[in-house]
Chains A and B, each alone.
Chain A
Amino acid sequence: MSGSSPLDWHKRAVASARNGDYDQAFDLLRREILLDPANQAALGNAFTVSARSRSARTAELAAWAVRLSPLFTPGWRNLLSVLDAREAPARRRAIARHAAILTVGNAPDTRRIGEIFMGLGDYARAAQTLSWVTVMAPTDVALWFALAQSRFQIRDHRGALHALDKARDAGLPREQELFWRARLLLATRRYDEADAILAEARRSGGELAARCRILMHTARLSDFKIDSKGTST
């Protein structure tokens, strides 16, 4: 019967979406997916339709899609894109770990996964994940910057400095570079260089200056080595 085959549903769904009738489009695609959970085109379109309609069910749909079709890489990509920081940490970690396997080699996905691990405070895994794709995306500023931050947090200061240099060369804004370079220099006890950068950063005013003011409270080695006259040694 005309209009009742999955192919026809799909055509009508696309047409409905083009006309802005996202609810109709979604219902048609849902029917198609229920018949064939591995229908990747339907899954992808359903997610797109849902995202365009700014539906509250977008995240739910993304999760549903990966459950129906766990090897469908774009499904994981969709799920990553809607994963909220308010999700339970265990769920975020599980999703990031699954997605990392399926999206390996894809720089934007990997960066997103690395950022999820960073958000979870799992900097070791974040650094490991991000470092996988630096060869494939040598000019991805955000990737290098995230890698620098992760390496700093696991005290790989040399690696962090290298990643920060790469991020700078790829176009990292000067303000962000200054702050993180100052942190790295303080952590490696290169106080004179850190002070020069902090002075420059504080002159710029605004949020950067406020952050640097906080950073400058960090105790220095000289504070621990004071002689009986109260002088730093």
Chain B
Amino acid sequence: MSTGADNLDDDPGTRVNWLDRGGILAKAFRMTKDAETETKSPPAPSPTLDLAGHAFYLLVEDAGRELSARLLMAIQLAERGAEVWIGQQLWFAANFPALKPGVALFKGMNMPQVANMRAARLAGHRTAVIDEELFGLTDTSGKRLHDHRAARHCDLFLAEGEHQRRFLERDLGVPSDQITVSGNPRVDLLRPPLDGAMERAAGPPRARMGPFILVNTNFGAINPHDQDAFNYFRRCVAIQAVDPTAPDSMRNFHDLCAFETSNLRAISSFIAETRRLAPDRKIVVRPHPAENPDIWREAHAGDSQVVIIEDNRHLAWIRAADAMVHTSCTTGLEGYLLGARVIGLVPDPDSPWSRRYLSNKVGEIHTDPKTAARALAESHAAQGARTDQIQDHLRVNPNEMASKSVVRALGRLSQNVAPTQQRVHLGAPFRPFRANQRQLDQLSVDEAEVGNRLNALRDGLGIDTPCDIETIDANVFRVFPASRNGRQ
């Protein structure tokens, strides 16, 4: 069993592939491996690469989405002697000049992210990115999620699959030696040996709800947390995801809204039909964190069968549910990889927006809400997760965790940080960052919670090497090997 505690240079391609029934995956691995070999990567580190004295900054926007995956990397980096700072991305943006030069891992490539990459580089850091906005998307043409300057300000692109690698090379002009196809560490949390932690996390939702069907919604454009579609539009324009002067961009925006409206009506109809067919089954609706949950509560006020929850531990809820229903939501993909029964409701399968979601390629897919409700009312077991049809988009290596591949690449990149500057943090006390309510909703954790998550992950990985946590500021933590006390 791979524990993540192995050497950085373990060879994933030589192991037995337990998921690959048709040999497709093995072929994909060979191709991936060949592609990696072909690229002009920096010199490979020695098998016992020591990262002592190296600093890594793992920036987080949304705790529900990224924090555990980042902690998984933090454990593996700390195990090699590195110190890892993890937390609120905007705190780091304000403090890059005060931090000793290291490797900063960003979560996206849009305009604000790239501006912060530039700031990090100017302060002597190296920059890397895993694009969390792309997780579970099959193409990037809907909204502009990338700033074309990313290639200039980012040193390392961690691609989820070959498809993304091609996109980075072709559309953003990223040199191939700056790309590593790593998969996404979020997938590690859904697979052995770490999925046991998810089973434990599912206990409280199960105890609270009993048996239930989970409906995960995704209507952040037409039901945004900040009241109306115009505010969502303004936010898209501000980060240059939508160009109001470009007809194509505006058409895409209107299509997105029409797509969401169609999905919303379908899911509402599905809920009504499920209530009719199975009046004794509890339906838990979990609006997307970017949505306004109040209108859901208003719509189902006084209905004891439908419960609206706001909880960013979405994986625990998926694991606890009898089945999960979604309308083109990334959680459909996560649920599928987690082994849950996943039903995708796709009222307009020919819409380009429907085709953009990887979640619409896995699990049970229905175009009609009534058919979906009937299928759900019948008893079905979850389909076993097969990853061959999504491999091009999302590399899932059964022999190696994605986080390990990421750690290896980050470790290599850290060798390029100027060594003369690696010893001292320059600016403590740091500039404070005052989060607004929205930012607090997305990321608000204390040291105890970070510690609990960290311990659960270490137990899952079977890592014994102790590491400590220090709170630097609100939602910013430092994880370091236990033998190394205090701030350097």
Which residues of A are interface residues toward B (Cβ below 8 A)?
90, 121-122, 152-153, 155, 183, 186-187, 211, 213-219, 221, 223-228, 230
Contact = CB atoms under 8 A, between A and B. Distances in A.
25 contacts: A122-B436, A153-B226, A153-B231, A183-B228, A213-B254, A214-B229, A214-B233, A215-B230, A216-B229, A217-B258, A218-B222, A218-B223, A219-B222, A219-B295, A221-B299, A225-B268, A226-B269, A226-B272, A227-B269, A228-B273, A228-B276, A228-B370, A230-B265, A230-B269, A230-B369
A217 B94 contact: no
Contact of B261 (A90, A215, A217): A217
B310 to A, nearest CB: 16
A132 to B, nearest CB: 22
Contact of A90 (B94, B227, B296): B94
B226 A227 contact: no
B221 interface: yes
Contacts of B228: 183, 186-187, 215, 218
Contacts of A215: 228-230
A228 B229 contact: no
Closest 9 CB pairs of A and B: A224-B299, A217-B257, A226-B268, A217-B229, A228-B273, A228-B272, A218-B228, A219-B223, A219-B222
B178 to A, nearest CB: 29
Nearest to B268: A226
A183 B219 CA distance: 18
B34 interface: no
Contacts, number: 80
A65 B370 CA distance: 70
Interface residues of B, number: 36
B273 A219 contact: no
A187 B225 CA distance: 12
B431 interface: yes
A219 B233 contact: no
B464 interface: no
Interface in B281-303: 295-296, 298-300
A183 B228 CA distance: 8
A197 to B, nearest CB: 14
Interface string B214-245: 00000101110011111101000000000000
A122 B230 CA distance: 18
Most buried by B among A153, A223, A227: A223
B474 interface: no
B264 A219 contact: yes
Chain B interface SS verdict (over half): helix
Contacts of B373: 228
User: Could you say which of B265, B268, B273 has the most chain A C-beta atoms within 10 Å of its C-beta?
Assistant: B268
B238 to A, nearest CB: 10
A151 to B, nearest CB: 12
Contact of A228 (B230, B261, B269, B295): B269
B230 A224 contact: no
Contact of B230 (A211, A219, A227, A230): A211
Interface centre among A155, A216, A217 (most CB of B within 10 A): A217
Contacts of A152: 227
A110 B295 CA distance: 35
Interface string B86-117: 00000000100000000000000000000000
B236 to A, nearest CB: 10
Contact of B295 (A214, A217, A221): A221
B257 A227 contact: no
Contact of B265 (A122, A211, A216, A223): A223
A192 to B, nearest CB: 17
Contacts of B272: 226-228
A219 B233 CA distance: 14
Nearest to A88: B94
Nearest to A179: B230
Nearest to B296: A224
A221 B298 contact: yes
A214 B256 CA distance: 11
Contacts of B300: 224
Contacts of B229: 214-218
Of residues B228, B265, B300, B436, which shows the largest number of chain A Cβ atoms within 10 Å of its Cβ? Answer: B228
B436 A121 contact: yes
B265 A226 contact: yes
Contacts of A223: 261, 264-265, 268
A215 B230 CA distance: 5
Interface string B349-370: 0000000000000000000011
A40 B419 CA distance: 51
B293 to A, nearest CB: 11
Contacts of A214: 229-230, 233, 253-254, 257
Contacts of A186: 228
B227 A219 contact: no
